[in-house]
Chains A and B, each alone.
Chain A
Amino acid sequence: GENVEQHPSTLSVQEGDSAVIKCTYSDSASNYFPWYKQELGKRPQLIIDIRSNVGEKKDQRIAVTLNKTAKHFSLHITETQPEDSAVYFCAARNLGTSYGKLTFGQGTILTVHP
């Protein structure tokens, strides 16, 4: 089955700096890669996603890049703000015939210091 590895496990940056979180996946059949943000005690919320037919996607301060050959994808947050502090999870999924499960990485605790 699919296995997703996420690094780093913790990331501490100063407000205004950029933050990068990286994930690798094992199943070449995976073709959909969402990123979720989870604040303490809250539900995971989708912040951006990318399909395998696209190499990069951007939404304001957030961007995701995908390298299908190397089977890795990254989340980039620019001009970080204290409210970006949360746990971030990457995930992979095969949007095949069954629209099945998400396989999550272990999470990255991002702390943005004012």
Chain B
Amino acid sequence: NAGVMQNPRHLVRRRGQEARLRCSPMKGHSHVYWYRQLPEEGLKFMVYLQKENIIDESGMPKERFSAEFPKEGPSILRIQQVVRGDSAAYFCASQRQGEETQYFGPGTRLLVL
């Protein structure tokens, strides 16, 4: 059973470009969470999704950030018009319905030049 997959693992963007981060949950997991980790800091919650629904987006900036988890395919975190302050590691985690453990992916390290 493959773990949580994220791609790309590293992403370099120039200011003003768009970044698209993908997360494929573990098989059988219907809950996806996105977290951001700034250098030498803890993980901060961004958004929680279930298939085709955003359950909690309280940690996601209102501007430029969006997330989706379609019926088919991976969850996508999209950052428009990136700025240097968006440089961070973005982790997704998945969880099976009714269980408590969140399993993390390897992360996408975004660098904005």
A residues at B contact (CB < 8 Å): 1, 6, 32, 34, 36, 42-46, 49, 51, 89, 93, 95, 98-107
Contacts and interface: CB of A to CB of B under 8 A. Distances in A.
A43 B100 contact: no
A101 B45 contact: yes
B46 to A, nearest CB: 9
A98 B105 contact: no
16 contacts: A32-B100, A42-B106, A43-B104, A43-B106, A44-B91, A45-B104, A49-B101, A51-B100, A89-B43, A93-B100, A98-B55, A101-B56, A102-B102, A103-B45, A106-B41, A107-B42
B23 to A, nearest CB: 12
Interface string B30-70: 01010100000111110010000001101100000000000
Nearest to B45: A101
Nearest to B56: A100
Among the interface residues B4, B33, B102, which one has the most CB atoms of the partner chain A within 10 A? B102
Nearest to B107: A43
Contacts of A45: 104
Interface in B85-113: 91, 93, 95, 98, 100-107
A107 B91 contact: no
Interface residues of B, number: 26
A99 B43 CA distance: 18
Interface of B: 4, 31, 33, 35, 41-45, 48, 55-56, 58-59, 91, 93, 95, 98, 100-107
Contact of B103 (A46, A100, A104): A46
Contact of A43 (B31, B55, B95, B105): B105
A37 to B, nearest CB: 11
